[in-house]
Chains A and B, each alone.
Chain A
Amino acid sequence: DADVTQTPRNRITKTGKRIMLECSQTKGHDRMYWYRQDPGLGLRLIYYSFDVKDINKGEISDGYSVSRQAQAKFSLSLESAIPNQTALYFCATSAPTSPSTDTQYFGPGTRLTVL
């Protein structure tokens, strides 16, 4: 079974709709991250959380919100989707100890299309 799972894997939605992307992990990691990936721009950090009570903005948080429901669950919401939020979204996790605090493990991604 995958250590980091994301649902849905693919989603097509319309401008203005609210959408939630979910991430679950069985790695026992405290730290979780949301990224988006766009051609030519690479991976960009949206939000990250170091534990259940800790939420931090990344470099491109505008238009997004997150919820850390439990150690193993981290959700990303688009309150009112717009076409330039069409991208591949990845959840990632990391542990504070091994092999470094900064090695991250990624889920399979959600391909989101906003029409």
Chain B
Amino acid sequence: QKEVEQDPGPLSVPEGAIVSLNCTYSNSAFQYFMWYRQYSRKGPELLMYTYSSGNKEDGRFTAQVDKSSKYISLFIRDSQPSDSATYLCAMSAGGGNKLTFGTGTQLKVEL
């Protein structure tokens, strides 16, 4: 079993929809949680960063961490075609430990 599980999709939604992307993990030592967005033929770019449990909001994006369930989510409100990309979750135990990535969920927002 992988340390981090992420549904690969593809996930197709209409413009304006609320999108929910999720990852589960097995390592209870993870404390830092990140979401990266990767456009086709580009490098991953950091979208959201969260420490420990709770919610963090940035514009149309909300990151949610539930450490008791070992479950993290990224919500995108009012989705736009420009949000079409692959979304990677990543997490670490902190202190310079390596990042463990999910395999990514491909999202397509259609007009």
**A residues in contact (CB < 8 Å) with B:** 4, 31, 40-43, 45, 48, 50, 58, 90, 96, 99-109, 111
Chain B contributes a number of interface residues (CB within 8 A of A) equal to: 25
Residue in chain A with minimal CB distance to B36: A106
Q: How far is the CA of A41 from the CA of B88 in the complex (A)?
A: 12
The distance in angstroms between the C-alpha atoms of A35 and B49, with both chains bound, is 20
Proximity string of chain B (12-55) to chain A, C-beta cutoff 8 Å, 1 when within and 0 when not: 00000000000000000000101010000111111001010000
Closest CB of chain A to B25's CB: distance in Å? Answer: 13
Bound Cα distance from A106 to B103, whole angstroms: 16
Classify the interface of chain A: helix, strand, loop or mixed: loop
- Report the number of A-B residue pairs with Cβ-Cβ less than 8 Å: 56
Task: Check A100 against B49 for contact (C-beta < 8 Å).
Answer: yes
Alpha-carbon separation in the docked complex, A96 to B45 (Å): 18
If A40-B103, A96-B96, A104-B99 touch, whether A109 touches B42 (CB-CB below 8 Å) is yes
Given known A103-B34, A103-B49, contact A42–B43 (CB-CB < 8 A): no
Whether A106 lies near B88 (C-beta < 8 A) is no
Known: A40-B8, A42-B103. Is A102-B97 also a contact (CB below 8 A)? yes
